[in-house]
């Protein structure tokens, strides 16, 4: 996946206002190699611990809005802080990581960096952070409100049942009923059924 290292004087472009100095503190203290990647479907960021001659490395998707970018970066910083204390002796998203993520997230929440709707969801997240950057659907739903609007693009949960939509790659589906936490949709060309998250982005063809 192509990456690019971010010059520190350009980092403010990716972050909400009034938090650059706090972020730089961590990057400089731990000598973090921060890179920005193109959009990845399954993860928003990742952390790699030092080995051989390489230092701590964090990557974050560059297409995220500023609040999503910051939260993802803090998620990965929590991995770094956990590694500094425990190495590889613990579960990646166990109690120790949840403690570190909760503490670093709280430091940014109290600075009133996030809009009120995001702050309210983050307060709940502090109690039990999701293991995956993409795992907290309530948080993702609120964060999507701050994404740039895309003509004709909707979340599956926003379109009506029986609507026809397409996904990346051109495959078309008919939206079906909600089954617990996912929507059962039928691919038009094969009649096969697939389950989609309500937060999956699709292009609406027919409503």
Q: Are residues 32 and 97 in the same domain?
A: yes
pLDDT of 4: 54
Q: Are residues 123 and 194 in the same domain?
A: no
Q: Are residues 71 and 107 in the same domain?
A: yes
pLDDT of 81: 96
Tens of pLDDT, residues 93-106: 899 999 999 999 99
Bridge partner list, 48: 57
Q: Average pLDDT in the 48-69 region?
A: 92
pLDDT of 101: 92
Choose from 7-16, 126-135, 171-180 the range with maximum mean pLDDT: 171-180
Q: Average pLDDT in the 179-198 region?
A: 95
State the pairing for strand pair 182-187/193-197. antiparallel
Q: Are residues 78 and 160 in the same domain?
A: no
Which strands sit side by side in the sheet containing 33-37, from one edge to the other? 3-5, 33-37, 57-61, 45-48
Q: Of 173, 150, 151, nearest to 162 (Cα)?
A: 173
The tally of domains found in the chain comes to 2
Q: 20 lies in which domain range?
A: 3-144
Q: Of 127, 109, 106, nearest to 117 (Cα)?
A: 109
Tens of pLDDT, residues 151-187: 889 999 999 999 999 998 899 999 999 998 899 999 9
Domain boundary among the residues 144, 171, 198 is at 144
pLDDT of 1: 44
pTM over 0.75: yes
Tens of pLDDT, residues 72-94: 999 999 999 999 999 988 888 89
Q: Are residues 69 and 162 in the same domain?
A: no
- In the chain, % of residues over pLDDT 70: 92
Q: Are residues 39 and 13 in the same domain?
A: yes
- In the chain, % of residues over pLDDT 90: 64
For the cut 80, the answer to whether the pLDDT of residue 131 exceeds it is no
- Mapping DSSP onto H, E and C, the string for 108-168 reads HHCCCCCCHHHHHHHHHHCCCCCCCCCCCHHHHHHHHCCCCCCCCEEEHHHCCCCCEEECC
């Amino acid at each position: 996946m192509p990456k690019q290292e971010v010059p520190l004087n350009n980092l403010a472009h990716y972050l909400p206002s009034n938090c650059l100095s706090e972020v730089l503190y961590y990057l400089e203290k731990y000598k973090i190699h921060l890179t920005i990647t193109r959009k990845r479907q399954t993860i928003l960021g990742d952390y790699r611990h030092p080995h051989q001659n390489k230092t701590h490395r964090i990557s974050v998707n560059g297409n995220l809005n500023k609040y999503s970018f910051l939260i993802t970066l803090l998620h990965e910083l929590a991995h770094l802080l956990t590694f500094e204390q425990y190495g590889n002796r613990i579960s990646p998203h166990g109690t120790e990581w949840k403690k570190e993520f909760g503490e670093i997230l709280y430091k940014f929440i109290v600075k009133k960096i996030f809009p009120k709707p995001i702050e309210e969801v983050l307060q709940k997240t502090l109690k039990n952070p999701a293991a995956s950057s993409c795992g907290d659907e309530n948080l993702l739903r609120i964060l999507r409100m701050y994404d740039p609007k895309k003509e004709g693009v909707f979340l599956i949960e926003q379109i009506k049942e029986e609507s026809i939509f397409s996904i990346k790659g051109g495959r078309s589906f008919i939206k079906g009923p909600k089954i617990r936490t996912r929507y059962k949709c039928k691919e038009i060309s094969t009649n096969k059924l697939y389950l989609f998250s309500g937060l999956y982005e699709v292009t609406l063809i027919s409503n």
